[in-house]
Amino acid sequence: MQSFQQSELRILGRTHDAAAAEAAFGAARASGLSNIGLDLLIGIPGQSTHSWRNTLDRALKLGPEHISIYFLTLEPGVPLARELRKGGLEQPPDEEQRSWYMEAKAVLERAGYEHYEIANFARASFRCRHNENYWNGTPYLGIGPSAHSFDGERRWWNIADLQRYYQLVEGGDTPAAGEERLTANDRLIELIMLGLRRREGFSITAAERLYDGDFQRAIARAASALGGVDGSGDPFSSSARDSVLTRRDDTLCLTGPGLVMADEICARLAAAVT
């Protein structure tokens, strides 16, 4: 979906309009689908508080089971990034984008959606099980050109060329193009970065098994510069002292104040244990 504003869809280079997207949603629902998700974007050039609220309101009126909210990031070389560099377009200020995100969080939670991952909100029993496997570090098998696989300690990826992939498989050969073996420190960093994305956070005990040192002291020292760790906050929500992290039993989670600093927090924590 991305946006319900025609001007914003045009800037993004989308060929559909809001009416077509709503019609597609209606057709999916009419066909009997009972699990439909929408993706929305914050940070589109020209986006305003009014247009974002309108997009969120129209999304809610459709009643999807799952809503994802992403911040628009532009990789170098894409046409929109070039337009921004030329000065013809400008993204909304970061502070404004963060305020829209936090407002959307409150609106969606009041509407009955669980905020279970940084970008994802779901009605009861409609979490994305596919993505949760990745965030939990569950092994997976990828089949097809460019597909990636993971067995818990090793990742490998297939060649991209379809014809060559077909020839190798037909000949009984592996189509893998390369692989990487994760060290204990690699697995620790992924545990932190993927775990903090989730409301449940990550296990301190699991992290300590992968770290050769005083893990809790290293984390507390890194977090203190950003707002610290408390023991009384709610994951993705309140914090007694505006701390960015909260500890609940054996888990470490982001607080509400920590949500908008997630990238920096993960980078600081990863650096502290590297």
Q: Averaged in consecutive runs of 10 residues, what is the pLDDT profile of the chain (274 residues)?
A: 95 92 97 97 96 98 98 85 79 95 97 98 96 93 96 96 96 96 96 96 96 93 90 87 91 94 93 92
Please give the Cα distance from 196 to 243 (Å, whole number): 14
Whether the CB-CB separation of 58 and 8 falls below 8 Å is answered with no
Predicted pLDDT at 233: 84
Domain ranges of the chain: 6-127, 135-181, 184-272
Whether the CB-CB separation of 57 and 49 falls below 8 Å is answered with no
Predicted pLDDT at 218: 93
Predicted pLDDT at 238: 87
Whether the CB-CB separation of 80 and 74 falls below 8 Å is answered with yes
Fold classification of 6-127 (topology level)? Transcription Regulator spoIIAA (3.30.750)
| CA-to-CA dists, residue 188 to 192, 206, 211, 244, angstroms | 6, 8, 7, 20
Please give the Cα distance from 198 to 235 (Å, whole number): 9
Whether the CB-CB separation of 149 and 155 falls below 8 Å is answered with yes
Q: pTM, whole model, 2 decimals?
A: 0.91
Predicted pLDDT at 80: 85
Predicted pLDDT at 157: 98
Q: How many CB atoms lie within 10 A of CB 212?
A: 10
- The residue among 80, 78, 64, 83 whose CA lies nearest residue 4 is 64
Predicted pLDDT at 90: 87
Whether the CB-CB separation of 246 and 231 falls below 8 Å is answered with yes
Predicted pLDDT at 225: 87
